[in-house]
Amino acid sequence: MIEETLIIIKTDAIERGLIGEIISRFERLGFKIKEIETRSPTKDQLFEHYNHLNPEIIENICDYLVFVIVMVVCGPNAIEKCRQITGKTEGLNATPGTIRGDYSSSTCKEAMYDNSDGCRAIKNLVHASDNSENYRKEYQIWFGKGK
């Protein structure tokens, strides 16, 4: 099934110079980058996008996600496959070969206690929609129009 999904390249990935590397992971699967834009997220956008999380965590995410790249990635079974190659939330538990598993090794617990750079959200490089309903919701948030 040809699907679309929403991918966000997060601030830490941009700062680390991993934009090309991350985009190439999607492209080499045959997926097309249908839309791509930069955004400086507002608090409202982040609270809406992450409304399944505890507000304290979302506040931490607001300090973390100051500049992002939002993309619509399109191809067969894009939602499930992009989640697979993104990997689990915590780098430590993300399988090597996934984006998070190859470029991060931290945990949520460490992020909360290691505040040396003033950021308490776990830095995990990339977001991928987890189902089609959330894709439509997220598209509206980041592109300001319905799908």
Asked whether position 62 contacts ligand GDP by CB under 6 A, the answer is: no
Asked whether position 61 contacts ligand GDP by CB under 6 A, the answer is: yes
Binding string to ligand GDP for residues 79 to 108, with x set by CB under 6 A, is what?
----------x------------------x
Q: Which residues pair with 79 in a beta bridge?
A: none
Tell me the one-letter amino acid at 25: R
Which is nearer to ligand GDP, 30 or 65 (by Cβ)? Answer: 65
Give the residue from 14, 121, 125 showing the smallest Cα distance to 63. Answer: 121
Annotation marks residue 127 as catalytic: yes
Which helix (H) or strand (E) segment holds residue 137: the answer is helix 132-143
Catalytic residue among 25, 120, 123, 127: 127
Give the residue from 89, 103, 101 showing the smallest Cα distance to 52. Answer: 89
Asked whether position 57 contacts ligand GDP by CB under 6 A, the answer is: yes
Give the residue from 86, 108, 76 showing the smallest Cα distance to 4. Answer: 76
Which is nearer to ligand GDP, 37 or 63 (by Cβ)? Answer: 63
Instruction: Tell which one of 68, 69, 71, 121 touches ligand GDP (CB under 6 A).
Output: 121
Which is nearer to ligand GDP, 23 or 125 (by Cβ)? Answer: 125
CB atoms within 10 A of CB 145: 7
Geometric angle at alpha carbon 40, from 51 and 92, rounded to 5°: 60
Q: Interface residues with ligand GDP (CB under 6 A)?
A: 50, 53, 57, 60-61, 89, 108, 111-112, 120-122, 124, 127, 130
> Active-site positions?
127
